[in-house]
């Protein structure tokens, strides 16, 4: 790898970063807001009672915090998920995805979290304001909650289904599909449902079913909520019906349904400190698709640690809470009135879809339907909804343009192994790009042939740089050599590289998929085979990842096969390139590093063939 190659990489990275900065979808600076009387999200007043294996049973409460009903668990089993509903709230209290398993716990994660808990306890003792105390207490209890789950998983010593309901749901007592009824601007949660169902078991023989909840309101009207499930889908249907059994019209009312507060981050298990880094939550997004525009980051930086609200009206396609691999999205089946996004002082987000109820006369009813997609960001499943939900699968501009994930899935169907599919994909990319590679090598070879003459010019006019540049350009023109001919074809290849990079980094299809048992058990994680810290009484520290090391070795070999610069300083600089690449790629997902390693090996083979051909 010579100076032109390095220049091509640097320039391409610069273009990539600038493009993402200026052309990524942005939320409007002044979103449409409306004055809506809102109810504060009910927050726990006592400590979270969490043992090693079991949380304290949750008791549903009214706004006045008086006990109302103790909820029964209604279990819904499908081939894809195990869902637990609350009999009184009509919400999702637990949602476990069967297809994907929890990642292996790093040996130092629990210890790091314990250190974080001690730090937060110390900071809590020295808190200077009530707001700071609440934030620190929340972070501390969240880390304790996560650690309790990790300890439980470690004791069970078996792979566990991924749980999507988060600590934020438990902490704020707001869960997915929570329903509100608004009358003349006053919004209250419906928390007095009755449900006779004991559970629901779906299968191929029974592909669909529903659980029915009934709430009798104080004014004599009735609200019926049906939650519909399909055995082979992560899409949940919600049917809300208001029945007027009174002798008066029901007016100025609306239904609201919520995503609940938060969606569990897988990053909580790998980043010490409960999914927080530098005081910020990582890997979490609040996104809406309204008026055919993707709206991200609804709140400004200046609104951090305060209560805030945004309302959006227009053509509402969906509103969602999104993490790297999973999604909680509300999708109105019928036209909705608005989307409301709330944030509390702890920066916990909650999305609502609202529909205004027209006048309901005596003995008449009104129904509203909304879907909830709660599950993995599998592109094919998202695309089936036909509402641009697949935009939340973050493969970047080039990843979506080249549809790399679809090619990868096609190759997986042939091979049955995503590691082999990545290798085949890399080979296909090399074949497609081979003409550009040949052109680049030819240009570099032509430049190398002119190197002695350029050196002679530098020695002849060593005191006149302008003269050297002028005669060098004349030399290029005379020999019909383009000095950028070596790097320009490589720059044309970079969009494909970025497409592969973003796809292999974010594709949930790679999560938990094994390439080589005992070495690369999960292509979405680094291929750690040993922790060197175990030799120094620091278990879980200094991971030994083999693929990045092999990649760096092949980078060195690649440089040996590439035409070298005559400048000794440049040669020394290029020796740092493998070290730089090792540092950058060391903790990347093994699937991504596997691609780069394979690409290096193919490049070495190509260069060896080209060198032999032109001898």
For the domain 31-393, what is the CATH code?
A: 2.70.98.90
Does 66 or 521 have the greater pLDDT score?
Answer: 521
- Flag whether pLDDT at 170 surpasses 80: yes
Whether 544 and 526 have beta carbons less than 8 Å apart is answered as: no
Integer Cα distance of 419 and 426 in angstroms: 11
- In this predicted model, what pLDDT tens digit does every residue of 143-166 receive, in sequence order? 898 888 888 888 877 788 999 998
pLDDT at 272: 35
pLDDT category at 264 given cuts 50, 70, 90 is confident
Most confident of 8-22, 175-189, 477-491: 175-189
Integer Cα distance of 485 and 441 in angstroms: 9
Whether 599 and 607 have beta carbons less than 8 Å apart is answered as: no
Tell me which H or E stretch contains 402: helix 396-402
- In this predicted model, what pLDDT tens digit does every residue of 461-499 receive, in sequence order? 878 888 888 888 888 788 877 776 666 656 766 888 888
**For the range 2-6, what are the long-range contacts, defined as Cβ-Cβ under 8 Å and sequence gap of 24 or more?**
2/444, 2/486, 2/562, 2/563, 2/564, 2/565, 2/570, 2/574, 3/565, 3/570, 3/574, 4/444, 4/447, 4/484, 4/486, 4/487, 4/490, 5/486, 5/487, 5/490, 5/562, 6/574, 6/577
- Residue spans of the domains in the chain: they are 31-393, 405-613
Most confident of 126-140, 244-258, 469-483: 244-258
**For the range 234-237, what are the long-range contacts, defined as Cβ-Cβ under 8 Å and sequence gap of 24 or more?**
234/80, 234/81, 234/97, 234/373, 234/374, 234/375, 234/376, 234/381, 235/371, 235/372, 235/373, 235/385, 236/177, 236/371, 236/372, 236/373, 236/374, 237/210, 237/333, 237/369, 237/371, 237/372
Q: Which two tokens stand for residue 182?
A: 């608004």
Q: Which two tokens stand for residue 585?
A: 């790629």
Count CB-CB contacts under 10 A for residue 193: 24
pLDDT at 21: 41
pLDDT at 397: 79
Most confident of 204-208, 272-276, 488-492, 578-582: 204-208
Quote the pTM value.
0.80
- In this predicted model, what pLDDT tens digit does every residue of 306-317 receive, in sequence order? 889 999 999 999
When pLDDT is averaged across residues 398-402 and rounded to a whole number, the result is 78
- In this predicted model, what pLDDT tens digit does every residue of 36-64 receive, in sequence order? 233 333 333 333 333 333 333 333 333 33
Q: Give the DSSP letter of residue 194.
A: B
When pLDDT is averaged across residues 108-117 and rounded to a whole number, the result is 86
Residues 6+ apart with CB under 8 A from 158: none
Q: Which two tokens stand for residue 486?
A: 């070596």
- In this predicted model, what pLDDT tens digit does every residue of 411-467 receive, in sequence order? 999 999 999 999 999 999 888 888 877 777 777 777 777 888 888 888 888 788 888
Give me the helices (H) in 55-108, please.
none
- Flag whether pLDDT at 271 surpasses 70: no
> Which of these ranges, 291-300, 306-315, 604-613, has the smallest mean pLDDT?
604-613
- In this predicted model, what pLDDT tens digit does every residue of 319-378 receive, in sequence order? 999 998 999 999 999 999 999 999 988 888 999 999 999 999 999 999 999 999 999 999
- Flag whether pLDDT at 17 surpasses 50: no
Does 388 or 570 have the greater pLDDT score?
Answer: 388
């Amino acid at each position: 790898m010579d100076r032109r190659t390095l220049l091509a990489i640097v320039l391409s990275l610069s273009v990539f970063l600038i493009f993402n900065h200026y052309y990524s979808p942005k939320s409007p600076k002044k979103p449409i807001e409306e004055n809506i009387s809102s109810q504060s999200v009910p927050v726990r007043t006592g400590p979270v009672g969490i043992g090693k294996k079991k949380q304290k049973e949750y008791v549903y409460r009214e706004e006045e915090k008086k006990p109302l009903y103790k909820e029964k668990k209604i279990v819904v089993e499908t081939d894809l998920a195990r869902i637990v509903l609350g009999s009184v709230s009509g919400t999702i209290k637990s949602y476990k995805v069967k297809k994907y398993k929890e990642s292996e716990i790093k040996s130092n994660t629990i210890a790091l979290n314990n250190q974080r808990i001690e730090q937060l306890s110390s900071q809590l003792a020295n808190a200077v304001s009530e707001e700071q105390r609440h934030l620190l207490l929340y972070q501390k209890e969240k880390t304790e909650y996560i650690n309790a789950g990790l300890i439980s998983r470690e004791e069970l010593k078996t792979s566990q289904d991924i749980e999507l309901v988060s600590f934020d749901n438990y902490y704020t007592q707001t869960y997915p599909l929570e329903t509100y009824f608004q009358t003349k601007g006053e919004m209250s949660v419906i928390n007095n449902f009755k449900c006779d169902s004991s559970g629901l078991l779906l299968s191929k023989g029974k592909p669909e079913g529903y659980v029915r909840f009934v709430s009798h309101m104080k004014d004599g009207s009735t609200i019926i909520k049906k939650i519909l499930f399909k055995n082979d889908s992560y899409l949940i249907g919600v049917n809300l019906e208001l029945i007027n059994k009174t002798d008066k019209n029901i007016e100025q009312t609306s239904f609201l349904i919520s995503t609940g507060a938060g969606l569990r981050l897988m990053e909580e298990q790998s980043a010490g400190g409960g999914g927080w880094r530098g005081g910020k939550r990582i890997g979490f997004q609040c996104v809406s698709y309204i008026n055919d525009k993707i709206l991200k980051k609804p709140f400004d930086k200046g609104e951090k640690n305060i209560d805030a609200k945004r309302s959006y009206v227009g053509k509402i396609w969906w509103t969602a809470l999104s993490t790297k691999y999973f999604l909680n999205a509300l999708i109105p089946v019928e036209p909705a009135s608005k989307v409301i996004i709330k944030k509390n002082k702890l920066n916990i987000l909650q999305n609502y879809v609202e529909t205004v109820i027209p006048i309901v006369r005596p003995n008449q009813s009104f129904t509203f339907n909304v879907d909830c997609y709660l599950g993995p960001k599998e592109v094919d499943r998202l695309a089936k909804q036909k509402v641009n939900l697949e935009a939340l699968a973050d493969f970047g501009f080039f990843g979506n343009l080249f549809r790399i994930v679809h090619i990868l899935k096609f190759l997986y169907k042939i091979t049955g192994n995503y590691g082999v599919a990545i290798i085949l994909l890399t080979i296909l990319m090399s074949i497609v790009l081979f003409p550009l590679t040949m052109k680049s090598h030819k240009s570099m070879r032509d430049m190398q042939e002119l190197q002695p003459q350029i050196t002679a010019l530098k020695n002849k006019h060593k005191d006149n740089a302008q003269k050297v540049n002028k005669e060098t350009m004349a030399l290029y023109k005379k020999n019909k050599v383009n000095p950028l001919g070596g790097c320009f074809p490589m720059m044309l290849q970079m969009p494909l590289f970025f497409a592969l990079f973003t796809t292999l980094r974010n594709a949930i299809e790679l999560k938990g998929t094994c390439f080589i048992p005992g070495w690369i058990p999960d292509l979405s994680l680094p291929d750690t085979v040993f922790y060197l810290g175990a030799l120094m009484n620091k278990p879980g520290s200094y991971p030994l990842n083999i693929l990045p090391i092999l990649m760096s070795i092949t980078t060195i070999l690649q440089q040996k096969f590439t035409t070298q610069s005559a400048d000794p300083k440049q040669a020394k600089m290029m020796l740092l390139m493998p070290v730089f690449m090792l540092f950058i790629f060391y903790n990347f997902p093994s699937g991504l590093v596997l691609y780069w390693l394979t690409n290096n090996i193919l490049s070495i083979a190509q260069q060896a063939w080209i060198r032999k051909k032109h001898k």
